[in-house]
Amino acid sequence: MSVRRSASLNLTGPCGARPTNLVVMGQEITDSRFAESAFAEFRRRLDVETGLLRDWMAQGRLRSDERRFGFEVEAWLIDADARPAAYNQAFLAALDDPLVVPELAQFNFEINSVPQRLEPGALDVMHDALAERWRHCEQAAATLGARPVLTGILPTVRSSDLSLDHMSPLQRYRAINEQVFRLRHGAPIELDIDGVEQLHHRHADVMLEAATTSLQIHVQVDADEAARAFNVCKMISAVTVGAAANSPYLFERQLWAETRIPLFEQAVDVGASDYSKRVTFGVRYAQDSILECFEANRTRYPVILPDLMDKPAEELAHLRLHNGTIWRWNRPLIGFDDAGRPHCRIEHRVIAAGPSPRDAIANCALFLGLFESFMRAPGPIESLLSFVVARDNFYAAARFGLDAPLRWVDGAVCTLRDLLASQLLDTAAGGLSAAGLGKAEVARWLDVIRGRVERNTTGADWQVAWIARHGRDFHGLVDAYVRHQADNTPVHEWSLT
């Protein structure tokens, strides 16, 4: 649960180069407790900054002449017994990498990418950088007797691990916990997930969210096309969440193929209506402008982090901080480049972390290919797939993975596996090719997804198959998972040993 994008950070990248601000880390706040007057003043500043953004959009100031993309991927630290290891402060000190930062729990961390133009070689560059950084993570963790893991939900995590005792020591996390429970009037979180098995659980803090680790892809767009981009991301969310499913277990119960989805939605539930849920697929497509999302933020969502910053309104610091506390599965963001020019990007948040660095970049390729193809299609693309169908597809794919029955743009219903095999992998290839990527690079990354489809094996499928063969040995499952992950082979090639 990162409160990112509240302000630009002066980060130093590899070889002293400063990465452009497409993906930035969270900014710490000054306190975790706030006077009532702070909420009123924060809302006043939010009104001013939203009005300023409205003016900028009318003036055409949020222009983007090129497509850029980047990602954040969250991970776990585990000990020799395959249990969560709350060592992230020592781990980050040993690693000493400004692009690897703490997350909500002391056993989580996050890897940020340096953004790339979507052009020939971009996916290969992203993979090589991630694979190298992951090797460094393995080395740093080893000095502490720990191992890093890329997975959506760690199968060995227990409710007792998800406590305030294991929260990372940052004020923004404490503040979110306090404010969520203020809005809930102190009532505990009620977790209720009906899957292959059922899970009913009560929790006294927001630390359930620490169990949901993901791959979050950012794509920069021109403000004039941002509404369409936002809608396209919603349309393809069912495809990416199901094809990348990697979270079948929570507290040793088999639930959804991608249990992260209901878990995160319930973990920070403030008891609001569908129009103001903090984690949401939304209630409709954007109609005319991406500004609609920021207006909804201003009018529908109570402020939970009223940190008053001594910054000019032109930095939109309060608007960005508030937006960072609303975790839409597809979230519009406002950033600034090194020259201070504002831009818009969409953050696609539905994909689980893992199973391997190679799988992660293949997931990026699938998303980017479908995104480019739909963005380039003629006419109002939203007319081909209603919002209600896109939403229902999303939750079906999260629950059933490749077996999910989806209704697609031609009105026919078929499984996600068949839809990928018959048309969507070709659609994604066409989108990447239209963006200028070469045939060999496109095939190299989409063939990873094709292998999952042909072998009917996502990360979730592999985990379920391993347990079916070996019994409910979740420690053994994690050990086998980490061993295969270390080889950086895609999950559809993993054995069940």
- Asked if pLDDT for residue 18 goes beyond 70, the answer is no
Q: What is residue 484's three-state secondary structure? A: helix
Give the mean model confidence (pLDDT) for residues 60-69.
90
Q: Rounded to the nearest 10 degrees, how much is the dihedral formed by the CA atoms of 216, 217, 220, 224?
A: -80
Domain ranges in the chain are: 14-483
Least confidently predicted of 29-38, 168-177, 355-364: 29-38
97-113 pLDDT, tens digit per residue, is 999 999 999 999 999 99
pLDDT band at 34 (very low <50, low <70, confident <90, very high): confident
- Note the CATH number of domain 14-483: 3.30.590.20
Residue 275: pLDDT band (50, 70, 90) is low
Q: What is the pLDDT of residues 143-165, one digit of tens each?
A: 999 999 999 999 999 999 999 99
C-alpha 212, offset from chain centre: 9
- pTM (predicted TM-score): 0.93
The answer, yes or no, to whether residue 255 has pLDDT greater than 60, is yes
Q: What mean pLDDT is predicted for residues 389-403?
A: 98
Distance separating alpha carbons of residues 111 and 387, to the nearest angstrom: 32
Return the residue matching tokens 């239209």.
434
What is the mean predicted confidence (pLDDT) over 487-495? 98
Segment 398-425 mean pLDDT: 97
Per DSSP, which regions of 312-365 are E strands?
Answer: 327-328, 330-336, 342-352
- Give, as one character, the DSSP assignment of residue 353: P
